[in-house]
Amino acid sequence: MNYKNFPMVPRVIFGRGCFNQLGEILSPKRLNVKAPFIFLVDDVFKGKSWLSSRIPLSYDDKIMYVSAKEEPKTSQVDELVEHIILTTSDRPSGIIGIGGGTILDLAKAISIMLTNEGETSDYQGWDLVKNKAIYHVGIPTISGTGAEVSRTTVLTGPILKLGINSDFTPFDQVVLDPELTRDVPKTQWFYTGMDCYIHCIESLNGTYLNTFSQTYGEKAFDLCKEIFVDNKLSLKDTQDKLMMASWHGGMSIAYSQVGVAHAMSYGLSFLLGTKHGIGNCIVFNQLEEFYPEGVKLFIQMKESHNIELPEGICADLSDNEFDIMINVALSMEPLWENAIGKDWRKTITKEKLKSLYQKM
């Protein structure tokens, strides 16, 4: 038996309004006046001065607004890295991602690709990154993905949707300010929160689970229930607790893995561009045979929050398109092994996945 020596985020600040401390946090990390901090910011914050005016800019620091409408791509990382190299005189002092999972994953990937040669897609997989990334900071503005604490950055590449899993991927610093989540639309709040809930269900019901991951997963699960089932919290407590649920849910993956919903949702996302949060929900909704209790509670939460999931998104797909999705899903071997066990290939056939996709 060989256990993973898990890299944790070495610095975390939590508190309502702690975003105001970003300047003092970054200042000692500035390499020189020509080495800027690059703030990668979700473009929903463009013109929102309550946030954008508080980004501490000095010298050649830059804000790059990026859309999170689509899932992050390896080609997008390559373009952003090229743009940064061409427009900065020195290698940046750091990359600061301010946004949801898409922006955080882009920030992680860019910080890696600024110190590693070749193309981003070369590093999709496990432990392929050779050089330490540049200093990178994650500041979530929506809660649930766990991207702030994970050792992966999940990207859609030319062949697969797959993470860059490495010890250099985690952020050097995370800023958890629940006030930043104040403008998240209700449906988005639900879908992204369910990403955390589904992490927990997949982790807690997986064969990889150990006590480390279990304790984190149980806490995140309890918090999700408090937030989405009990519905008794103030807005402030809901924001605070969902941010911590996302953190603990992300930590629960340390010695575990996600499962069926994530594997199949990657297929949807690769072919149809379905965003991760809603994709997970669409898939999970059909997984009662794998996660009976988890799906029952999910349906209860969905109804209690008046969420209507899209239906029939696979209705008009060709056989070839089904095959593309199925191949992406089946390539996620660790996820299937975690969910089903070593013998997963006996039950998880192409036909089985097709019949599940057809229900969505």
**CB-wise, 215 or 358, nearer to a copy of itself?**
215
Q: Is 17 in the site for a copy of itself (CB under 8 A)?
A: yes
Q: From the list 31, 244, 272, 317, which residue makes contact with a copy of itself (rule: CB under 8 A)?
A: 244
Give Cβ neighbours of residue 250 (< 8 Å, ≥ 6 apart). Answer: 145, 146, 147, 148, 149, 150, 199
CA distance 216 to 202: 13
Residue span binding a copy of itself (CB under 8 A) among the ranges 16-24, 62-70, 132-140, 344-352: 16-24
Q: From the list 73, 136, 151, 241, which residue makes contact with a copy of itself (rule: CB under 8 A)?
A: 241
Q: Is 136 in the site for a copy of itself (CB under 8 A)?
A: no
Q: 43, 96, 39, 105: which is closest to 73 by C-alpha? A: 105
**CB-wise, 127 or 237, nearer to a copy of itself?**
237
Q: Is 328 in the site for a copy of itself (CB under 8 A)?
A: no
Secondary structure E strands in 196-293: none
Number of residues that bind a copy of itself (CB under 8 A): 39
Footprint (CB under 8 A) of a copy of itself, residues 218-237? 218-219, 222-223, 237
Q: How far is the CB of 340 from a copy of itself (least distance, A)?
A: 22
Contact of 43 with 105, CB cutoff 8 Å: no
CA 145, 149, 153: angle at the middle one, nearest 5?
Answer: 70
CA distance 243 to 144: 7
CA distance 209 to 91: 40
Q: How far is the CB of 21 from a copy of itself (least distance, A)?
A: 7
Q: How far is the CB of 52 from a copy of itself (least distance, A)?
A: 21
Q: How far is the CB of 241 from a copy of itself (least distance, A)?
A: 6
Q: How far is the CB of 18 from a copy of itself (least distance, A)?
A: 4
Footprint (CB under 8 A) of a copy of itself, residues 160-179? 173, 176, 178
User: Residue 25 has which token pair?
Assistant: 């946090």
Footprint (CB under 8 A) of a copy of itself, residues 202-221? 210-212, 215-216, 218-219
**CB-wise, 202 or 240, nearer to a copy of itself?**
240
**CB-wise, 223 or 258, nearer to a copy of itself?**
223
**CB-wise, 157 or 193, nearer to a copy of itself?**
193
Q: What b-and-e string marks burial along 210-228, b requiring 16 or more CB atoms within 10 Å of the CB?
A: eeebeebbebbbebbebbb
Q: 93, 100, 94, 83: which is closest to 45 by C-alpha? A: 100
Q: Is 151 in the site for a copy of itself (CB under 8 A)?
A: no
CA distance 290 to 288: 5
Q: How far is the CB of 135 from a copy of itself (least distance, A)?
A: 14
Q: 350, 347, 348: which is closest to 326 by C-alpha? A: 350
On the 0-12 / 13-18 / 19+ scale of CB atoms within 10 A, 4 is exposed
Q: 287, 277, 282, 215: which is closest to 249 by C-alpha? A: 215
Footprint (CB under 8 A) of a copy of itself, residues 25-54? 25
Q: Is 248 in the site for a copy of itself (CB under 8 A)?
A: yes
User: Which positions lie near a copy of itself, rule CB under 8 A?
Assistant: 1-15, 17-18, 21, 25, 173, 176, 178, 210-212, 215-216, 218-219, 222-223, 237, 240-241, 243-245, 248, 255
